[in-house]
A and B are shown apart, each in its own frame.
Chain A
Amino acid sequence: MPWLNGTRSQQSLSLNTVCFFAVSHSQITRLYSRFTSLDKGENGTLSREDFQRIPELAINPLGDRIINAFFPEGEDQVNFRGFMRTLAHFRPIEDNEKNKDPTASEPLNSRTNKLLFAFQLYDLDRDDKISRDELLQVLRMMVGVNISDEQLGSIADRTIQEADQNGDNSISFNEFIKVGNLQHIYVWAGDHYLILT
């Protein structure tokens, strides 16, 4: 494996074992080949443009948000480690949450981290709150042109109203988790055959 040599392999191996060693060898290989095929500049990192070149992402309403999720704050390149780190959110939940050791750092694919990932898709300014404007932006991305601004506004109002518990007119992460039994959504995903095989 080319990437097992040199710095990149160091990165890979030094990754949080919990989140990565569960991924099988073949999976990492496959994802690495995907990574390199996306990497048009062939410099071992992906830029936003590399992501934007994926045709399906262009028609995904939330495509840009998800691309952003790959890039840590302030950076515009992502290496294979970062790539995997983000994708690790989408690995299936392994442990039962009951017997989880509270002291251990949570794996990236824990329920909370999955939800946090989703939450951060909304939360643009990273203030741990989804404000009305942020919600509106996402809504606007997801709905077509058939819906008017004030309709969207009332949906956003209602959404915040429903989730808001402390009356700050925004959705915090705790509220986000609690609202409408959100946890259930990932479970609900049923048996789609693995987001990351």
Chain B
Amino acid sequence: YRPLRRVLLILPFDAADLPATDASFLPDLELRSGGQRGPSLPASPTTSLDRFQVQPREEYASPGIALARSVEEPSATTEDGGESHRHGGGFQMVQWEWSYVQTPYIIAIWILVASVAKILFHFSQRFTTVVPESCMLILLGLVLGGIVLLTSKKQLYQLEPGLFFLFLLPTIVGDAGYFMPARLFFDNLGAILLYAVVGTLWNAFCTGFCLYGVKLLGIIDQKVQAGLMEFLLFGALISAVDPVAVLAVFEEVHVNETLFIIVFGESLLNDAVTVVLYKVYMSFVEVGPENVQTADYFKGVASFLIVSIGGTMVGLIFAALLAFITRFTKKVRIIEPLLVFLMVYLAYLTAELFSLSAILSMTFCGIGCNKYVEANISQKSRTTVKYTMKTLASIAETIIFIFLGISAVDKSKWAWDTGLISCTLIFIFVFRALGVVMQTWVLNWFRLVPLDKIDQVVMSYGGLRGAVAFALVVLLDAERVPAKDYFVATTIIVVFFTVMFQGLTIKPLVNWLKVPRATNRKPTINEEIHERAFDHCLTAVEDIAGLNGYHHWRDKWEQFDKNYLSKLLLRKSVYRKSELWEVYQKINIRDAISVIDQGGNVLTSARLSLPSMASRASFPEVTNVTNYLRENGSGVCLDLQVIDNVPGAKVEEESETHHFLAGNLYKPRRRYQSHYSRHFMTVGDHERQDREIFQRNMKSRMETFKTTRHKRHSHKKDRSQKKRRGSDVKEQDLNDKPRRNVSWQDKDPVVVTVESEDEKGEHLEPEKEEDVGITFVARKVPDTPKERPKSVPAGLEVCQSPSVAPPSPTCSERNLPWKGGIGTLPVCVSMEATKIIPIDLQQAWNQSISSLESLASPPGPVEPLHPRVSALSRLGGQRPVSYSGSGVSGSGFGSRGAGSIVAQGIARFEFPPGGEEKEEEEGALSDQEQELQPLVSSSVRRNPCVYLRSLVTAPPPGSEPLARSRGPTQL
């Protein structure tokens, strides 16, 4: 609490120092002087809720600006007594600028306090499992409030409704809405709506009427001056289940998903009811109950419809807007997260603006946009959105609870009336339980899976009240509602009781009742598939039985979504992808990461098997993984080739050592000078390593290009290519800086720039490769492998593509002249490589493969240039640079590299595949070349997932099963 104490020490000093500017307490957003609270409330109350919320903010915003200005302008400094007092005495080396930084400073300190408090609570595992965090935060708030009270004699801080509704609540609701499990939510929407609307109305009316009845009976003291309308108003605000409290408590309890979504969904959706009831009663209280006309009740009902449906519509409109905008952020990935936050927040504010239900709006905005936004934005943005949202929500929650605690310690609030408090507590609990039981009874007529008694107990007990009720009751106008102080005190007690007592006991209760818990499972591909199958199945049965039931409409919606919405809101590239495939990839990547996280080095654990890979058990006839992979053409398999190539046991041992080292030690990489860019994320070291491995693969792949024929490009093509290259250069420049820092032994970066199919801008593949255009830079690491035997390298560098594997590798290796040239590449797969390649490079890999495909199987003679391969340029290195033309296609080098390589410093590879000629030549290939055929053919079949699989499953050199089986393959 030290930081706080410091602030507390500062504050009185500041107040003394600036006696004239008592208002200097006002500027801080959250911590307003308690004494100022009264006047801050609008003198002429309006029915509009948002007026109430906005007004305080305006008030304290202006002094903040004035203060800030006072420091900037010297003239203002003299006006300010405090400033001039401090600044007097000429130039000062160190100046005390408290008033300048006060507002943000105190906010920051509070957030710090909240964070530290959170950290401290989680020190003790046993403690946190028993006591929910929210309880501890409230207790901490009480303690802090006590300290403040002791030091400054009056409560300076309280949970400010303006701050709460405009900043704290949206962060929590936004997080909840965006990450709401949509399927679960809509599956249970009926129950949620019933509880949210009918349940809340029931609670509000019953509590209100009964309190009034109790008042008439004289149990509530006469000092509490409240009529029926006041009690109904109080009932309305106290009856709503609070999303913040529910989230805080239920997240720790881990009840099953259905139960959670019903309670939580209710707490979100009842906002509309609460808002309307509150507004209606406020206006009734204003005009006086005797003046209320019948028409007003109908207006109230209409208002409810407008507020709820309008809020939902606003949310959905913003969801559509957001999804639509993210369609076009390909070039500016960095602002994607910001867009998400902005639009979701704007949905909230807009609803507030029209005094619609802001929580509904934000919730539906989140639910609605999630699917499209997540598909549109990049992986990094997704992670950013997730973490930022969670961070903000968590901090907001912490602050809310601390301030609830602090707000309670305020003498002015303690208008205690035992009768009112105890009656309220009893009523809200009883009516909640009654309401739940009755509604569940109705619901169970319809529900496929009925809610049993245990569920009902948890639902009644989980009806927690929280900060929303408190903020609403603070907003009451003391002149219109004379019993406001009593209501405030009662609300505080109710909130504390529900959050602390019920929050504390709900866990033991859930344990005792043996409520089915949420299983923290990761989704499996099986579930994904079967669930879809079941859905189709249920839809079909509904159709057969002639029912237009839930599945029927869901299916209709999905058709609509697929045919229109997705087309409009998703990028073309995303839209064309199969959802199932996406899920599959996600699961694969997750598995790969978890295996690597747990098992360390993938390469050294021979028996490692991922669920994603075909297990050896299921292919008993395949004795050798290498064989298996090769037979299946399963693409790149790092390292496998080495094993086949290594001749002697000693060499093998050495290479094993090398691999072990290379896999486990950090690779001796050059340092990259950090490159700062505001607009693009610099690629981290890990990623760079991965990129390099990827680049190596590409290089070896490009060697195989030579085996295919490349026709000289026509001039027309040339021009169009230059155009494209022009645009590429821009992107390359971004990558240029870091690259320059690398001293290339081989000064020739091989840049393969690949463009998408249509020039119009719908770049299909490179979308996920966000930051830069895809440049594959082949590089070498000089002098690295001291321990590597001389005989290995040649084999090593080919090893990335096992399908090159000829029957006699060593022989072919000698015969393949280019192999020696780049033989110093270290062969190693770092752990990080496998982690990131799937996510980051898969797209690029896919792309490269497709470009390979296009080489191997040209589209046709009519279309001379396959658009994906727009430019493949390389600088001349040690390799023979200028052999050119299709004419050479017969002998020696030409037989392999029958492409057109123009040596002009930057020689460009063109792949204008003339189909027929290629075939002819393939026919003319010599025996040696036919060894390469597997690659050509298999590269067609390759796909990124196989690549991933092979990455992960690549067995270590010399591991047992491989060592045994090496004999037959080696020849």
Interface residues of A (CB under 8 A from B): 31, 34, 37-38, 51, 54, 56-57, 59-63, 65-66, 70, 87, 90, 92-93, 118, 121-122, 138-139, 142-144, 146-148, 150-151, 154-155, 157-164, 167-169, 179-182, 184-197
Give bound CA distance, A121 to B559, whole Å.
Answer: 22
| Residues of A close to B546: CB separation below 8 A | 34, 37-38
CB distance from B706 to the nearest CB of A (A): 26
Top 3 A-B pairs, shortest CB-CB distance: A192-B550, A190-B187, A180-B524
Asked if A92 contacts B449 (CB within 8 A), the reply is yes
Cβ of B924 within 8 Å of any chain A Cβ, yes or no, is no
| Residues of A close to B555: CB separation below 8 A | 56, 60
Contact among A61, A93, A144, A169 with B618 in the assembled complex (CB-CB below 8 Å): A169
Task: Give per-residue flags for B489-528: 1 if the beta carbon is below 8 A from chain A beta carbons, else 0.
Answer: 0000000000000000000000000000001010111110
Give bound CA distance, A160 to B191, whole Å.
Answer: 37
Question: How many residues belonging to B are interface residues under a CB distance threshold of 8 Å?
Answer: 65
Cβ of B292 within 8 Å of any chain A Cβ, yes or no, is no
Asked if A192 contacts B543 (CB within 8 A), the reply is no
Asked if A61 contacts B536 (CB within 8 A), the reply is yes
| One of B55-63, B317-325, B332-340, B575-583 contacting the partner | B575-583
Contact residues of A: prevailing secondary structure: helix
Asked if A181 contacts B581 (CB within 8 A), the reply is no
| Residues of A close to B559: CB separation below 8 A | 59
| Residues of B close to A195: CB separation below 8 A | 448, 538, 541-542, 545, 547, 549, 551
Asked if B617 contacts A167 (CB within 8 A), the reply is yes
Give bound CA distance, A155 to B949, whole Å.
Answer: 12
Asked if A197 contacts B527 (CB within 8 A), the reply is no
| Residues of A close to B941: CB separation below 8 A | 150
Q: Scan residues 546-597 of chain B and give those whose CB is less than 8 A from a CB of chain A.
A: 546-547, 549-552, 554-555, 559, 576-578, 580-581, 584, 587-588
| Residues of B close to A191: CB separation below 8 A | 187-188, 190-191, 443, 446-449
Asked if B541 contacts A179 (CB within 8 A), the reply is no
Contact among A139, A142, A169, A180 with B523 in the assembled complex (CB-CB below 8 Å): A180
Asked if B578 contacts A147 (CB within 8 A), the reply is yes
Give bound CA distance, A185 to B190, whole Å.
Answer: 19
Closest to A162 in B: B611
Closest to B554 in A: A192
| Residues of A close to B536: CB separation below 8 A | 60-63, 66, 142
Asked if B549 contacts A193 (CB within 8 A), the reply is yes
Give bound CA distance, A186 to B552, whole Å.
Answer: 17
Asked if A143 contacts B580 (CB within 8 A), the reply is yes
Asked if B580 contacts A142 (CB within 8 A), the reply is yes
Asked if A57 contacts B544 (CB within 8 A), the reply is yes
Asked if A193 contacts B550 (CB within 8 A), the reply is yes
Give bound CA distance, A66 to B538, whole Å.
Answer: 9
Cβ of B971 within 8 Å of any chain A Cβ, yes or no, is no
Closest to B942 in A: A150
Closest to B519 in A: A181
Give bound CA distance, A60 to B946, whole Å.
Answer: 31
Task: Give per-residue flags for B21-51: 1 if the beta carbon is below 8 A from chain A beta carbons, else 0.
Answer: 0000000000000000000000000000000
Given A147-B580, A191-B443, A193-B549, do A138 and B541 touch, yes or no (CB 8 Å)? no
Contact residues of B: prevailing secondary structure: helix
Asked if A139 contacts B537 (CB within 8 A), the reply is no
| Residues of A close to B257: CB separation below 8 A | 188
Subset of 29 A-B contacts with CB under 8 Å: A56-B540, A57-B544, A62-B540, A63-B536, A65-B537, A66-B537, A66-B540, A90-B541, A138-B529, A139-B580, A154-B584, A161-B615, A161-B618, A167-B618, A180-B521, A180-B524, A180-B527, A180-B530, A187-B449, A188-B184, A188-B258, A188-B531, A191-B447, A191-B448, A192-B187, A193-B549, A194-B446, A194-B549, A195-B542
Asked if A118 contacts B534 (CB within 8 A), the reply is yes
CB distance from A186 to the nearest CB of B (A): 8
Give bound CA distance, A146 to B559, whole Å.
Answer: 16
Contact among A144, A154, A192 with B946 in the assembled complex (CB-CB below 8 Å): A154
Asked if B533 contacts A182 (CB within 8 A), the reply is no
Asked if A147 contacts B526 (CB within 8 A), the reply is no
Give bound CA distance, A188 to B216, whole Å.
Answer: 48
Give bound CA distance, A168 to B617, whole Å.
Answer: 8
Asked if B618 contacts A160 (CB within 8 A), the reply is yes
Asked if B526 contacts A54 (CB within 8 A), the reply is no
| Residues of B close to A154: CB separation below 8 A | 584, 943, 945-946, 949
| Residues of B close to A168: CB separation below 8 A | 618
Q: Scan residues 589-615 of chain B and give those whose CB is less than 8 A from a CB of chain A.
A: 611-615
Give bound CA distance, A70 to B540, whole Å.
Answer: 12
Give bound CA distance, A138 to B534, whole Å.
Answer: 12
Contact among A182, A192, A196 with B530 in the assembled complex (CB-CB below 8 Å): A182
| Residues of A close to B577: CB separation below 8 A | 146
Asked if B530 contacts A158 (CB within 8 A), the reply is no
Task: Indicate the member of A151, A154, A181 with the most B CB atoms within 10 Å.
Answer: A154
Cβ of B539 within 8 Å of any chain A Cβ, yes or no, is yes
CB distance from B714 to the nearest CB of A (A): 32
Closest to A59 in B: B559
Give bound CA distance, A92 to B448, whole Å.
Answer: 6
| Residues of A close to B527: CB separation below 8 A | 179-182, 185
Given A161-B618, A192-B550, do A63 and B540 touch, yes or no (CB 8 Å)? yes
Give bound CA distance, A63 to B525, whole Å.
Answer: 22
Give bound CA distance, A184 to B184, whole Å.
Answer: 12
Apart from A63-B536, A142-B533, what are 6 other A-B pairs with CB-CB below 8 Å?
A: A57-B544, A190-B447, A192-B550, A192-B551, A193-B448, A196-B547
Asked if A118 contacts B446 (CB within 8 A), the reply is no
| Residues of A close to B747: CB separation below 8 A | none
Contact among B533, B578, B584 with A144 in the assembled complex (CB-CB below 8 Å): B578
Give bound CA distance, A87 to B555, whole Å.
Answer: 19
| Residues of B close to A54: CB separation below 8 A | 543-544
| Residues of A close to B532: CB separation below 8 A | 142
Task: Give per-residue flags for B157-195: 1 if the beta carbon is below 8 A from chain A beta carbons, else 0.
Answer: 000000000000000000000000000100110110000
| Residues of B close to A121: CB separation below 8 A | 533, 537
Asked if A159 contacts B540 (CB within 8 A), the reply is no
Give bound CA distance, A154 to B531, whole Å.
Answer: 19
Closest to B577 in A: A146
CB distance from A126 to the nearest CB of B (A): 17
| Residues of A close to B539: CB separation below 8 A | 56, 60
Asked if B526 contacts A190 (CB within 8 A), the reply is no
Task: Indicate the member of A70, A93, A188, A197 with the most B CB atoms within 10 Å.
Answer: A188
Closest to B543 in A: A56
Asked if A190 contacts B448 (CB within 8 A), the reply is yes
Task: Indicate the member of A34, A138, A148, A180 with the most B CB atoms within 10 Å.
Answer: A180
